[in-house]
């Protein structure tokens, strides 16, 4: 669906009084044209957009195109490249480990994403009327400031067989759970991610909720609305665009999650994490940089390109699903 | 339109100027490097490590004696990961170092390794540098390029062994178990005496797999894992010797010899417990004494015995760590000169006595805790590489280690292991073809 263009673009040329263009000789039709803002805009497009476009092309577009080319080859990172066609892609799609890694990425995206949004929204509603909310908000935001690596290393102290968690549980009669067993690692990573990120989205959502003018609530109260109705008819519609932005931000973040997985199971960098915890990003890295076998840059790049396609498709889809008419207030 | 044309021209001129400047910038540095007689070295050691201190001394001595400047970057163990992308540029170091298992994928698989005939021929303490490397290692460990030149100049050997505290378990020093049955009997004795027999950090896949790998090499000799992994039909997994190696790993797991929590902890938690006398034995690389020195219990006396035999095969793991020179290196000659210089007795002695690792030269000093493992290496008749040199793209990380993890962590039985590995390997080679 085409959206209406901004009004400046459709404003008739005669409505303004720009200087006459002197250096364009009359070419057949009109006897000397006046320059419209649209024309001016068009003329300034190159000098203003050009530098950014060049930078973007050099730093992003060309590398992505180069990556596509590399992904069609077998290549150990340097030295000879051999043409592989779409082999890297077909191998990936058939590789159970890649599908499992992709599944983990999707778990982070949807399960952790869902948990974060429910928690953030609940916190936002609780914090809205709370005394000392600014301090609480800072405290909630704090985990997001700390590098994910710290949590990975901390996991060892807390969850090792003789760690803090078991030290607390033992007097309660709980027989020491095997927190860091390979089967439990990914769940721990998901919980840690939720805890780390909730504060960040709470802060964004709170900013959205805070700008709702109080008279909407007063009006709702006068109309006899209960808390649920107020949520349904006032808060949600007026913060919908903020939700949309948060959803896109999380989608992009979740597809890139790497370092916490690497450190959580990866013995602080001394080894590679168990394959059960791999995300698509970890799969890509391990394929290219494992260090203990011949690097497969072609396959790694193919995996990166597939991730890029995935994130693009998801963002487009999300924007479509979340699209509502923005309510001006 | 003239205005647009003018803009385009200006833009084109600007872009051309930028390109010209960039090219001038690139070409400007070339000549300067030659004139000063200098070369670049990306080291696998980090500032402050004992090895780095010895190397730094050699660098300083070499600079003084030969009036050559060495631009050293103490990058640490990921120096070769940085090297691979750098090999596509003109910013290539003249000298790098690393272990065989890391150097091979980075420079040999990419066909970027220079033959080091000059370094091997250079005079060190009165004879060619190459002759300081014991010939029996070179007979088993293949470090030759297609044209027959060695691509690596090793200065250190890493091995692995079964470590224990001789102060606490002197009986193991007096009478070390030599066969697998004696080993199991020793584990039973330790268990009966109330000790935890074995420590292991089960979160490191490479350590977990080393039990199966070494047992297989004991059963079938060096090269057995390479033959097994290379078999595209997977049929090699039906070999009784393979099944036996897997069953012996299962025996360790089911026998309850391993420290509690080894399957749910984070390195180096279990290694720390071992160094604190909470477990008797640890199967680990020759680096263990230096790595665990900081937290070892007072009076801990490092001692070791060779991995028990299951038959006649008794090779020792001998991984080279050494120098390599990329083909693209601009100052390859100087780099080779320094690599040979570092094999001088002076630095090899310090490598053994101060850095407390195993120097390549047979006549170099050795630290007390390394005496046992050095004696085993000297006495051995054959050698094998870490992981038997298997480095097919992704094979270890994605296929092999995932299954040896499950075997060693007690998730699957020996029979399931061989069946699942057979299928996984067939799938692996199908995907590679």
Handedness of CA A232, A238, A243, A248 (dihedral sign): positive
The alpha-carbon gap from A253 to the nearest alpha carbon of chain B, in Å, equals 25
Confidence of residue A25 (pLDDT cuts 50, 70, 90): very low
Which of A115-124, A146-155, B50-59, B169-178 comes out lowest in average pLDDT?
A146-155
Helix (DSSP H) and strand (DSSP E) numbers for chain A: 16, 2
B167 SS3 class: coil
Q: Cα dihedral angle (B308, B408, B253, A180), rounded to 10 degrees?
A: 130
pLDDT mean across residues, chain B: 91
pLDDT digits 0-9 by tens, B215-270? 999 999 999 999 999 999 999 999 999 999 999 999 999 999 999 999 998 888 99
Q: What is the mean pLDDT of residues A145-174?
A: 86
Q: What ipTM goes with this model?
A: 0.80
Q: What is the mean pLDDT of residues A36-56?
A: 89
Is the pLDDT score of A30 beyond 90?
no
Taking the domains of chain B in order of start, what are their residue ranges?
A: 9-158+318-360, 160-317+386-432
**Is A297 in the same domain as A204?**
yes
**Is A67 in the same domain as A100?**
no
Contacts of A91 in chain B (CB under 8 A): 431
Confidence of residue B4 (pLDDT cuts 50, 70, 90): very low
**Is A143 in the same domain as A56?**
no
Share of chain A above pLDDT 90, in %: 41
**For A267, which of B11, B85, B203 is closest by C-beta distance?**
B203
pLDDT at B28: 39
Cα–Cα dist A150/A160, whole Å:
15
Q: What is the mean pLDDT of residues A33-46?
A: 82
Q: Do domains B9-158+318-360 and B160-317+386-432 have the same CATH topology?
A: yes
Q: What is the mean pLDDT of residues A170-198?
A: 89
Which of A183-192, A315-324, B286-295 comes out lowest in average pLDDT?
A315-324
Strand B383-384 and strand B316-317: the pairing is: parallel
**Is A52 in the same domain as A157?**
no
Q: Is residue A184 part of a domain?
A: yes
Q: Is residue A5 part of a domain?
A: no
Question: Any chain A CB within 8 A of the CB of B91?
Answer: no
Q: Is residue A186 part of a domain?
A: yes
pLDDT at B392: 92
Is the pLDDT score of B15 beyond 50?
no
**Is A152 in the same domain as A190?**
yes
Q: Are A109 and A280 in contact (CB under 8 A)?
A: no
**Residue B283: beta bridge partners?**
B162
Share of chain B above pLDDT 90, in %: 83
Is the pLDDT score of B68 beyond 50?
yes
Q: What is the mean pLDDT of residues B43-56?
A: 95
Q: Are B404 and B208 in contact (CB under 8 A)?
A: yes
Is the pLDDT score of B214 beyond 90?
yes
Topology (CATH) of B160-317+386-432: D-Maltodextrin-Binding Protein; domain 2 (3.40.190)
Cα–Cα dist B265/B276, whole Å:
16
Confidence of residue A33 (pLDDT cuts 50, 70, 90): low
Q: Which residue has the higher pLDDT, A147 or B162?
A: B162
pLDDT at A267: 57
Q: Best residue in A100, A160, A293 to probe B by mutation, most B CBs within 10 Å?
A: A293
Q: Is residue A27 part of a domain?
A: no
pLDDT at A138: 87
Separation in Å, CA A144 to CA A155, A195, A197, B115: 16, 9, 6, 51
DSSP category for residue B107: I
**Number of compact structural domains in chain A:** 2
Q: What pTM, to 2 d.p., does this model score?
A: 0.84
Q: Is residue A83 part of a domain?
A: no
Starting at the edge strand that comes first in sequence, how are the strands of the sheet with B38-43 ordered? B69-74, B38-43, B95-99, B319-324, B153-158, B358-359
Is the pLDDT score of A55 beyond 60?
yes
Domain containing residue A314: CATH number: 1.10.3720.10
Which of A188-192, B31-35, B274-278, B395-399 comes out lowest in average pLDDT?
B31-35
Separation in Å, CA A109 to CA A243, A253, A288, B66: 15, 9, 24, 59
Q: Is residue A85 part of a domain?
A: no
Block residue for tokens 């499992």: A100
**For B397, which of A24, A160, A286 is closest by C-beta distance?**
A286
Block residue for tokens 């896109």: A248
The alpha-carbon gap from B56 to the nearest alpha carbon of chain A, in Å, equals 25
pLDDT at A157: 84
pLDDT at B311: 94
pLDDT at A13: 41
**Is A105 in the same domain as A182?**
yes
Q: Best residue in A45, A67, A78, A269 to probe B by mutation, most B CBs within 10 Å?
A: A78
**Residue B72: beta bridge partners?**
B41
pLDDT at A266: 58
**Is A66 in the same domain as A117?**
no
**Architecture, CATH, for domain B9-158+318-360:** 3-Layer(aba) Sandwich (3.40)
Q: What is the mean pLDDT of residues A197-201?
A: 94
Residue among A114, A100, A291, A257 at smallest CA distance from A182: A100
**Is A273 in the same domain as A147?**
yes
pLDDT mean across residues, chain A: 84
CB count in 10 Å sphere of residue A150: 13
Residue among B144, B292, B315, B142 at smallest CA distance from B213: B315
- Structure tokens belonging to residue A184: 């439990």
pLDDT at A176: 75
Q: Best residue in A45, A86, A269, A291 to probe B by mutation, most B CBs within 10 Å?
A: A291
Q: Which of A14-23, A229-238, B86-95 has the highest mean pLDDT?
A: B86-95
Q: Is residue A21 part of a domain?
A: no
pLDDT at B81: 87
**Is A216 in the same domain as A251?**
yes
pLDDT at B11: 46
pLDDT at B382: 95
Is the pLDDT score of B30 beyond 50?
no
**Is A147 in the same domain as A274?**
yes
A157 SS3 class: helix
> What is chain B's length?
433
**Is A210 in the same domain as A309?**
yes
Q: Is residue A277 part of a domain?
A: yes
* φ, ψ dihedrals at B411, nearest 5°: -85, -30
pLDDT at B146: 86
Cα–Cα dist B137/B154, whole Å:
11
Cα–Cα dist B159/B377, whole Å:
8
Q: What is the mean pLDDT of residues A149-175?
A: 85
**Is A270 in the same domain as A122?**
yes
Is the pLDDT score of A18 beyond 60?
no
Is the pLDDT score of A11 beyond 70?
no
Give the residue numbers spanning the domain of A51.
39-71
Q: Burial, A237: exposed, middle or buried (Cβ in 10 Å; 0-12, 13-18, 19+)?
A: middle
pLDDT at A99: 94
Question: Any chain B CB within 8 A of the CB of A159?
Answer: yes
Q: Are B209 and B397 in contact (CB under 8 A)?
A: no
Is the pLDDT score of B326 beyond 60?
yes
């Amino acid at each position: 669906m085409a959206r209406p263009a901004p009004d400046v673009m459709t404003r008739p040329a005669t409505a303004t009084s720009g200087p006459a263009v002197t250096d364009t000789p009359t070419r057949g039709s009109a006897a000397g044209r006046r320059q419209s803002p649209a024309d001016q805009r068009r003329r300034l497009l190159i000098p203003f957009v050009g530098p950014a476009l060049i930078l973007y092309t050099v730093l992003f577009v060309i590398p992505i195109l180069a990556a596509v080319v590399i992904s069609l080859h077998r290549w150990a990172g340097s030295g000879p490249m051999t043409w592989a066609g779409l082999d890297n892609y077909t191998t990936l799609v058939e590789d159970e480990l890649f599908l499992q890694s992709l599944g983990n990425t999707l778990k982070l995206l949807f399960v952790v994403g869902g948990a974060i949004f429910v928690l953030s929204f609940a916190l936002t509603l609780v914090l809205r009327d709370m005394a000392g909310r600014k301090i609480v908000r800072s405290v909630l935001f704090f985990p997001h400031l700390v590098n994910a690596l710290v949590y990975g290393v901390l996991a060892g102290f807390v969850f090792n067989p003789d760690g803090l968690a078991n030290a607390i549980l033992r007097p309660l009669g709980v027989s020491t759970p095997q927190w860091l067993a390979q089967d439990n690692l990914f769940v721990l990573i998901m919980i840690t991610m939720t805890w780390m990120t909730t504060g960040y989205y709470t802060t964004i959502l709170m900013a959205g909720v805070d700008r709702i003018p109080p008279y909407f609530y007063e009006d709702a109260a006068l109309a006899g609305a209960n808390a649920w109705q107020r949520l349904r008819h006032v808060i949600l519609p007026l913060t919908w665009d903020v939700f949309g932005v948060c959803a896109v931000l999380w989608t992009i973040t979740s597809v890139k999650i790497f370092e916490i997985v690497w450190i959580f199971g990866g013995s602080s960098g001394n080894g590679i994490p168990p394959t059960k915890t791999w995300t698509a990003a970890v799969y890509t890295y391990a394929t290219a940089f494992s260090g203990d076998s011949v690097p497969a840059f072609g396959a790694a790049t193919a995996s990166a390109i597939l991730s890029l396609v995935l994130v693009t498709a998801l963002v487009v889809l999300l924007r479509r699903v979340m699209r509502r008419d923005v309510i001006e207030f | 339109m003239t205005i647009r044309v003018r803009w385009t021209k200006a833009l084109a001129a600007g872009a051309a100027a930028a390109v010209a400047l960039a090219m001038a910038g690139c070409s400007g540095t070339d000549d300067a490097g030659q004139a000063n007689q200098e070369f670049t070295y990306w080291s696998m050691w980090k500032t402050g490590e004992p090895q780095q201190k010895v190397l730094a001394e050699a660098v300083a001595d070499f600079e003084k004696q030969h009036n050559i400047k060495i631009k050293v970057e103490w990058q640490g163990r990921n120096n070769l990961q940085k090297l691979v992308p750098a090999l596509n540029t003109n910013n290539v170091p003249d000298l790098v170092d690393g272990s065989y298992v890391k150097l091979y994928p980075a420079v040999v698989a990419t066909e970027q390794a220079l033959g080091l005939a000059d370094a091997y021929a250079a005079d060190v303490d009165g004879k060619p540098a190459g002759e300081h490397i014991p010939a029996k290692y070179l007979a088993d460990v293949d470090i030759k390029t297609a044209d027959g030149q060695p691509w690596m100049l090793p200065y250190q050997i890493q091995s692995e062994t079964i470590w224990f505290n001789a102060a606490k378990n002197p009986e193991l020093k007096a009478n070390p178990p030599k066969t697998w049955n004696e080993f199991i009997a020793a584990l039973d004795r330790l268990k009966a005496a109330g000790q935890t027999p074995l420590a292991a950090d089960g979160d490191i896949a490479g350590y977990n797999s080393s039990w199966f790998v070494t047992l297989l090499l004991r059963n079938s000799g060096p090269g057995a894992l390479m033959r097994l992994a290379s078999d595209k039909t997977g049929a090699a997994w039906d070999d009784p010797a393979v099944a036996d190696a897997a069953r012996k790993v299962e025996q360790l797991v089911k026998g309850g010899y391993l420290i509690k929590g080894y399957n749910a902890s984070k390195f180096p938690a279990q290694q720390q417990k071992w160094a604190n006398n909470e477990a008797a034995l640890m199967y680990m690389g020759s680096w263990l004494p230096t790595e665990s020195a900081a937290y070892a219990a007072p009076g801990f006396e490092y001692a070791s015995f060779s991995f028990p035999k299951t038959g006649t095969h008794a090779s020792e793991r001998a991984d080279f760590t050494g120098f390599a020179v990329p083909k693209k290196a601009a100052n390859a000659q100087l780099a080779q000169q320094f690599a040979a210089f570092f094999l001088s007795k002076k630095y090899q002695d310090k490598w053994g006595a101060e850095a407390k690792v195993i120097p390549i030269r047979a006549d170099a000093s050795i630290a007390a805790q390394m005496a046992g493992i050095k004696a085993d290496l000297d006495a051995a008749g054959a050698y094998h590489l870490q992981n038997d040199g298997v480095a097919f793209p992704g094979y270890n990380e994605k296929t092999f280690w995932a299954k040896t993890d499950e075997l060693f962590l007690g998730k699957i039985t020996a029979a399931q292991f061989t069946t699942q590995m057979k299928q996984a390997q067939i799938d692996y080679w199908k995907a590679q073809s």
